[in-house]
């Protein structure tokens, strides 16, 4: 087995680890890892590091990312996405498109963000999402992030499609919640797709079922 990377278009409904397991079976090697988790509900670019390329993990985690997502205003869920339990619903009839556009513009730039409980961050050796599933919530420290660009691509309230270019450590579900909170009606992310990770684009990605050794790409660190 040669070293290299695979750029996968992860489908919805499976975890990033599920994709790694598929690749291990198809390539007949255990030495495979991924460069950044995508939630089961999320789709898009997932980069797998194979063989000696696993040593490059520290370089990949610093890459910027781009996402296409849909924010639904007026409903708050327990997970910040469509998989969670509905916690509250509010009338959004007073919200105007101009208010939404102004609010989106206010989130561009450097800021701090508190990671959601449903995340892979560890707390005393346990993943936060594991604690969240048990109904446990712990205090999380805000982390510095940067939103380079945040553009609305379609707006048919309560749904807002948008494209975001952001730094590492940015949680799009939390971004959606924050925008909804600032507008006073709440919100959740109903759809999310990662379209790029550093230099790797969704245009370069292959389907899970097409994984084979011939798809491995060379990757030489800068």
User: Is 210 designated active site?
Assistant: no
Of residues 9, 39, 81, 210, which has the active-site annotation?
Answer: 39
**For the residues of 55-87, what is the DSSP string, one character each?**
GGHHHHTT--EEEEEEEEETEEESSSBTTSPEE
Structure tokens at 71: 């924010």
Quote the CA–CA distance of 206 and 107 in Å, as a whole number.
33
Cβ pair 44, 195 in contact under 8 A: yes
Altogether, the residues listed in the chain come to a count of 222
Quote the CA–CA distance of 51 and 148 in Å, as a whole number.
33
The answer for residues whose C-beta is within 8 angstroms of residue 8's C-beta and 6 or more apart is 19, 23, 45, 46, 47, 48, 205, 206, 207, 208, 211
Active-site positions read: 39
């Amino acid at each position: 087995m040669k070293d290299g990377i695979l750029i996968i278009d992860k489908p919805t409904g499976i975890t990033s680890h599920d994709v790694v397991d598929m690749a291990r079976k198809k390539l007949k090697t255990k030495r495979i890892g991924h460069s950044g988790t995508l939630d089961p509900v999320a789709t898009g670019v997932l980069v797998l590091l194979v063989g000696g390329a696993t040593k490059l993990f520290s370089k990949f985690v610093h890459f910027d990312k781009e996402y296409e997502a849909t924010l639904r205003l007026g409903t708050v869920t327990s997970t910040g996405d469509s998989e969670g339990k509905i916690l509250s619903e509010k009338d959004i009839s007073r919200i105007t498109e101009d208010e939404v556009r102004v609010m989106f513009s206010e989130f561009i730039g450097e800021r701090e963000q508190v990671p959601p409980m449903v995340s892979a961050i560890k707390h005393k050796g346990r993943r936060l999402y594991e604690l969240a599933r048990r109904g446990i919530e712990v205090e999380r420290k805000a982390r510095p992030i940067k939103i380079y660009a945040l553009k609305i691509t379609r707006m048919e309230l309560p749904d807002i499609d948008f494209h975001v270019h952001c730094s590492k450590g940015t949680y799009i579900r939390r971004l959606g919640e924050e925008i909804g909170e600032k507008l006073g009606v709440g919100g959740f992310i109903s759809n999310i797709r990662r379209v790029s990770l550093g230099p790797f684009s969704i245009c370069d990605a292959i389907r899970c079922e097409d994984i084979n050794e011939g798809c491995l790409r060379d990757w030489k660190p800068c």
